[in-house]
Amino acid sequence: MSDQAVSALPGAEATGLVTVREMGLQGMVTLRADLSAAARAVQRVTGAAMPGVRRIEAGKGCSVAWMSPDELLILCDRAGADRMVFDLTEALTGQHHVAVNVSDARAMFALEGAPGGLRDVLSKVTPADMGALVPGEMRRTRLAQVPAAIWFEAEGAARVICFRSVARYVFDVLAMSARPGGAVDYH
């Protein structure tokens, strides 16, 4: 089955001031719950500590990002997403929550290049302060006209998540921002 599954823009890549690449299928699980009450269960399943506001915590083969006071996004292997939902649901038995697989509802991009140039490229389309975004923090914001989440895996390596239906738009917008000739040299 998985060999028939395709991401939103398989193989899409653009090179300019930075490289923009669609990352293929990515497992994602939305968990909504009372986060303080769910912390132990989440740690048991993911191996990650409960992230603080806007933080991402690494776990066993996955990472857990804070999305709102009662919502987490768990990034994991695509094939393991259903299992993740199952395990979370089981671990949270008796506690009010919802865990759903949203892997296919999203598209994910990698932006790689010089740390400053990378922040400049993103700053053309997001009003969030890219200078203040440090690795380990996820920022939910907008990219041009659509919602998105941005974080840095490392200096010089950003990740962007958007809805699957606007993957082409987001890719085109990022590729345009990264077009050579548009260097800003701000960050």
Partner 1 sequence: MSTRLPTGGRLIDRTAKIAFTFNGKRLQGHPGDTLASALLASGQTILGRSFKYHRPRGVVASGAEEPNALVNLGRGPTHEPNQRATVTELFDGLTATSQNHWPSLEWDIGEVNAALARFLPAGFYYKTFIHPRPFWKHVFEPFIRQSAGLGKAPDPKHQDPDRYEHFYAHTDVVIAGGGIAGLQAALEAGRAGATVILCEQTAHWGGRAPVDGVEIDGQPAEDWINDTVQALEGMENVHLRLRTMVAGVYDHGYVIAYERVTDHAPDPDAPRHRLWRIRAGRIIAATGALERPLSFPGNDKPRVMLASAMRDYLVNWGVSPGDRTVVVTNNDDAYRTALAIKAAGLDVPCIVDARETADGPLVQEARARGIRVLTGMGIANVKGLRGVVAVQLGRQAGEGTVVEDVVCDAVAMSGGWSPVVHLWSHCGGKLSWDAAGAFFRPDPDRPPTNQHGEGFVVCAGAADGALHASETLENASTTARKTLASIGKLAPDAAVSKATAAAEAPLAPVWIMPQGAGPKKRAKMWLDFQNDVKVSDVQLAAREGYESVEHTKRYTTLGMATDQGKLSNINGLAVLADALGEDIPRVGTTTFRPPYTPISMGAIAGEARGAIFQPLRRTPIHGWHEANGAHWEPVGHWRRPYCFPRKGESHRDAVNREITATRTSLGLLDASTLGKIVVKGPDAGRFLDMLYTNMMSTLKPGKCRYGLMCSENGFLMDDGVVARLDEDTFLCHTTTGGADRIHAHMEDWLQTEWWDWKVYTANVTEQWAQIAVVGPKARAVLDKLGADIDLSDAALPFMAWAEGRIGGIDARVFRISFSGELSFEVAVPASLGRAFWDKLLEAGAEFGATPYGTEALHVMRAEKGFIMIGDETDGTVIPQDLGLDWAISKKKDDYLGKRAQERAHMTDPARWKLVGLETLDGSVLPDGSYALAEGVNENGQGNTQGRVTSTYYSPTLGRGIAMGLVLNGPDRMGEVITFNTTKKTVKGEAPKTVQARIVSPVFYDPEGEKQNV
Among left, alpha and beta (phi > 0; psi -120 to 50; other), residue 56 is beta
User: Which residue, 50 or 176, has its beta carbon nearer to partner 1?
Assistant: 176
User: Which residue, 21 or 97, has its beta carbon nearer to partner 1?
Assistant: 97
d(CA 23, CA 160): 10
- For residues 7 and 24, the answer to whether their CB atoms sit within 8 Å is yes
Binding mask 106-125 for partner 1 (x = CB under 8 A): x-------------x--xxx
Binding mask 143-162 for partner 1 (x = CB under 8 A): -xxx----------------
Smallest distance from partner 1 to CB 14, Å: 13
Smallest distance from partner 1 to CB 149, Å: 15
Handedness of CA 171, 73, 97, 70 (dihedral sign): negative
User: Which residue, 52 or 79, has its beta carbon nearer to partner 1?
Assistant: 79
Can you tell me which residue has the tokens 């669609």? Answer: 22
Partner residues linked to 100 by β-bridges: 30
Interface with partner 1 (CB under 8 A), residue from 4, 11, 36, 154: 4
